[in-house]
């Protein structure tokens, strides 16, 4: 999967607006992948699929949170708050000047 780095910003009223994350949906996966920009040219890709009972996670406030029973995960996919006790599935990333490639194992 390829995401253009330019998707992390847009021009609104002549101002450059940065986005913290881009959601990537693919046909062969039931849940979206969140590509989160941690820093300049540092990104993390996690599957938004709660490891507790499988709900889709919400993105907001710099974390991923589960609407079902309240688990919370960091944007690198680590459990911050239960009941989930396993980290999220994450993906390796490669980059060139313009693009970010999410590698599926
Ligand atoms: S399914 Fe996410 S906390 Fe239970």
List the domain boundaries for the chain: 2-103
The CA 39 to ligand 1 mean position distance, Å, reads 28
Nearest CA to ligand 1 atom 1: 53
* Ligand 1 centroid from CA 35, angstroms: 21
Q: How confident is the model at residue 37 (pLDDT cuts 50, 70, 90)?
A: very high
Among 51, 63, 69, say which to mutate for ligand 1: greatest number of ligand atoms within 8 Å of CB. 69
Query: How does residue 12 score in pLDDT terms, banded at 50, 70 and 90?
Result: confident
Residue whose token pair is 């938004």: 48
- For the question of whether the overall pTM of this predicted structure is more than 0.85, the answer is yes
Those residues whose C-beta lies under 8 Å from the C-beta of residue 101, and which sit 6 or more positions away, are: 1, 2, 93, 94, 95
What architecture does CATH give domain 2-103? 3-layer Sandwich (2.102)
52 a catalytic residue: no
């Amino acid at each position: 999967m390829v995401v253009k780095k330019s998707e992390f910003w847009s021009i609104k009223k002549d101002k450059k607006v940065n986005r913290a994350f881009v959601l990537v949906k693919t046909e062969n996966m039931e849940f979206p992948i969140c590509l989160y920009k941690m820093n300049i040219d540092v990104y993390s890709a996690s599957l938004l699929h709660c490891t507790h009972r499988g709900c889709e996670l919400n993105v907001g406030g710099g974390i991923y949170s589960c609407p079902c029973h309240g688990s919370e995960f960091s944007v690198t996919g680590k459990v911050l708050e239960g009941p989930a006790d396993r980290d999220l599935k994450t993906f390796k990333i490669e980059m060139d000047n313009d693009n970010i490639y999410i590698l599926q194992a």
